[in-house]
Amino acid sequence: MYGATLSGKVTEKHALGTIAQLPLSAVNRSLAALKFWDPKAPSFDQGMMGFISIWDSLHDQFRLIKNDGWVGLGAQAERLGSNTVDKPVRGFQAIADIATESGAPMLGKGIEWIGHAADFAPGAISRVVGISKALQGNMAVTWEAMQHARLEENLSGQPYWDRVRDIKNDYSQLTNEALVRVKNFRDNETYTQPFESDIAKKLQAGPDDPVANLMYRMTIGAFVRTPLRIMEIGAEYTPGLNFLAPHFWSEWNKGGTSRSMAEARVATGLAIMGTVMYGAGNGVITPDAPSDPREAKALVDAGMPPRSFWDPLSEKFRSYDGLGPISVVIATSANLVTMNAHLEENKMINLMLAGGLAMWRGVGSEHYMKSWSDFFDALKVGSYR
């Protein structure tokens, strides 16, 4: 199960999901600037500077790969704390030590090498997240530098841009509050924001015993934080469900730029959902697969695979899966169209229920939740007899 969860396809989808957040962040910043009556809202040029920052940061990452390769990316990931997947190496090392102490050093060495092999996929994902964190962090530093030069130092024209460049080159000049915002932004946009709940922290950590922890990681605990954070970010983009997202309220209560960004995410989600719901209603965007496998197979056989959109150029459906929260929002919108047909009309509670179920179905179909989904499916007896 662990190997299937961390297959190359999952690594690819994780890369797409984290990278897809980059332009979305810049779009959100542009929408936040529309709140022109708020002096603390972002300026109109910050959205475009976000895209420029992405381009500059990509060049930096290419240079890092060229000069330092896999090791350099690993060091960057370790420095930025990109622990998306919980690694099972500790459990393998414990078993290897037991084998060695029992007089079987070769067996212990073999188990240790198996542990290193099991660490390859998590290491690849960690490096991808590290790249995304570097890009998101550089974009956030750019925005904080612009806000500082404009609001704190009241600069404009060439002195303004010179000061922005100076702060970007040495962002230690930013206030502690600004540096905290940069870290929180890059963690949130890469789904690695630490848990605050003790229960969630325990799920993330797993059993204390290294062997039990190994079994936990190899069965259902490969991904814990990622699907929950994707679900929360997806809710932030969903009008109505955004009120259920703790991060939305946290940003809203801060006021200023943070509140403008929270509002912009809802506006972005509303635009995406409106477009998707129109497309789903006209059969050019498909929702998640039905829970009944026979019905799901019938739709695939009919040429309508789940989580796909119609490409008029190639005249076939293409998958929109693997884009992180964007995929969740799109799937939620399409699921909502499907579910709403079975609910009474003009009842807000039913609409909210449909939205909640649609959101869960959306995140449940992500590969991050595959091991958990398989675990709960195994508890069902005779569901489709």
Is residue 79 domain-resident?
yes
pLDDT attached to residue 372: 46
Write out pLDDT tens, residues 61-71: 999 999 999 88
Return all residues near 232 (Cβ < 8 A) that are at least 6 apart.
Answer: 245, 246, 247
pLDDT band at 247 (very low <50, low <70, confident <90, very high): confident
Question: What is the arithmetic mean of pLDDT over 337-365?
Answer: 56
pLDDT, mean of residues 227-235 = 75
Tell me: do 175 and 294 sit in the same domain.
no
pLDDT confidence bin for 206, thresholds 50/70/90 = confident
CB 227 within 8 Å of CB 368: yes
- On whether residue 248 sits in a domain, the answer given is no
317 and 207 within one domain: no
**Structural domain of residue 213, as residue ranges?**
2-222
Check whether residue 51 and residue 145 sit in a common domain: yes
Q: Which of 29-33, 228-232, 267-271 has the lowest average pLDDT? A: 228-232
Q: Write down which residue in 167, 199, 222 finishes a domain.
A: 222
Please count the structural domains in the chain: 2
Together in a domain, 154 and 73 = yes
Model confidence at 241: pLDDT above 70: yes
Buried/exposed code over 5-14 (b: 16+ C-beta within 10 A; e: otherwise): bbeeebbebb
Q: Which residue do the tokens 């929360």 mark?
A: 232
Provide the percentage of residues in the chain whose pLDDT is more than 90.
29
Within a domain: residue 115? yes
Q: What is the pLDDT of residue 331?
A: 85
Please check whether residue 254 lies inside any domain of the structure.
no
- pLDDT per residue over 139-196, tens digit each? 999 999 999 999 999 999 999 999 999 999 999 999 999 999 999 999 988 888 877 6
**Phi, psi at 316, each rounded to 5°:** -155, 165
368 versus 200: which is more confidently predicted? 200
- My answer on whether 217 and 355 are in the same domain is no
Residue 138 domain-assigned (yes or no)? yes
What's residue 212's pLDDT? 73
Statement to judge: residues 131 and 35 lie in one domain: yes
Residue where a domain terminates, one of 222, 257, 276: 222
Output the pLDDT for position 348. 46
Give the tokens for residue 117.
């092999």
pLDDT band at 260 (very low <50, low <70, confident <90, very high): very high
Average pLDDT over residues 229-258: 84
204 lies in some domain: yes
Q: Is the pLDDT of residue 31 over 80?
A: yes
Q: Is residue 227 part of a domain?
A: no
Q: Based on the domain organization, do 136 and 204 belong to the same domain?
A: yes
pLDDT above 70 as % of the chain: 72
Rounded Cα–Cα distance for residues 102 and 381 (Å): 42
> Is 333 a domain residue?
yes
Does residue 21 share a domain with residue 168? yes
Instruction: Give the mean pLDDT of the chain.
Output: 79
pLDDT tens digits along 102-144: 888 888 788 777 766 666 667 777 888 889 999 999 999 999 9
Pair (157, 57) in one structural domain: yes
What are the tens digits of pLDDT across the range 294-331?
A: 888 888 888 889 989 999 988 889 988 877 778 878 88
Q: Both 211 and 335 in a single domain?
A: no
- Return the pLDDT at 376: 46
Give me the pLDDT at residue 56, please. Answer: 94
Q: Residue 21 has what pLDDT? A: 86
Q: Do residue 179 and residue 281 come from a single domain?
A: no
Q: Are residues 203 and 281 in the same domain?
A: no
What are the beta bridge partners of residue 285?
A: 309
Residue count of the chain? 385
Instruction: Tell me how crowded residue 256 is: count the other CB atoms within 10 A of its CB.
Output: 15
Q: What is the DSSP letter of 209?
A: S
**Boundary of a domain, candidates 197, 222, 247:** 222
